[in-house]
Chains A and B, each alone.
Chain A
Amino acid sequence: MKVLMFEFLAVLIALLIWASADLPDRADPEAPANQHLSPDLTRLTESDVVIPNLVSAILADFRSYDTLGETFVIFTAGLAVVLVLQRSRRVREEENPDE
């Protein structure tokens, strides 16, 4: 079973390396990903949001609804963990009756 897994992983690695030959270079301004929206966001950050960190400008200003949803997701995860793992007062008294 383990040999099968490693063979599968080797095939997957070969496939990914073969596919990565077609990708554009890193930080290539002519790449398709940098053609559509990035110039507008960079220009708006320089003119409207006057801060040096482009990532913070996108995360907290242009896409602040996404960050709001992310905060809600983390908060909901915390509440779910509290509801699942919290020991109620009755269970605690049953385990330690002398407290």
Chain B
Amino acid sequence: MIWWLELSLFGLLVVAALIALSVRDMIAAVATLSVYSFLAAVLLALMGAVDVALTEAALGAGVTGVFLIGAISVVERRTPD
């Protein structure tokens, strides 16, 4: 396996998670969470678990982001934290 590709993907995963935790705008947090899910799907596909990667890419990166955006449109967009 190409070890530097996996290592850089893991680094991007951690960076995306930290950005999603620290950003103030909740739409931006949802977008970063989708990036996190997609990177996780790529990592799972690299590990050989293609079924799990397909589920993660469709549900985690696609549908969950849409649901969270729908929930944000009901409540306040900016968080005080």
Contact = CB atoms under 8 A, between A and B. Distances in A.
Interface residues of B, number: 4
Nearest to A55: B51
B48 A27 contact: yes
Contact of B47 (A2, A26, A55, A56): A26
Interface of B: 22, 47-48, 51
Classify the interface of chain A: helix, strand, loop or mixed: helix
Interface residues of A, number: 5
A2 B18 CA distance: 12
Contacts of A26: 47-48
A55 B49 CA distance: 9
Contacts of B51: 55-56
A55 B48 CA distance: 12
A36 B22 CA distance: 43
A26 B48 CA distance: 10
Contacts of A56: 51
Interface in A37-64: 55-56
A29 to B, nearest CB: 13
Contacts of A27: 48
A43 B62 CA distance: 36
Nearest to A59: B51
Interface in A54-87: 55-56
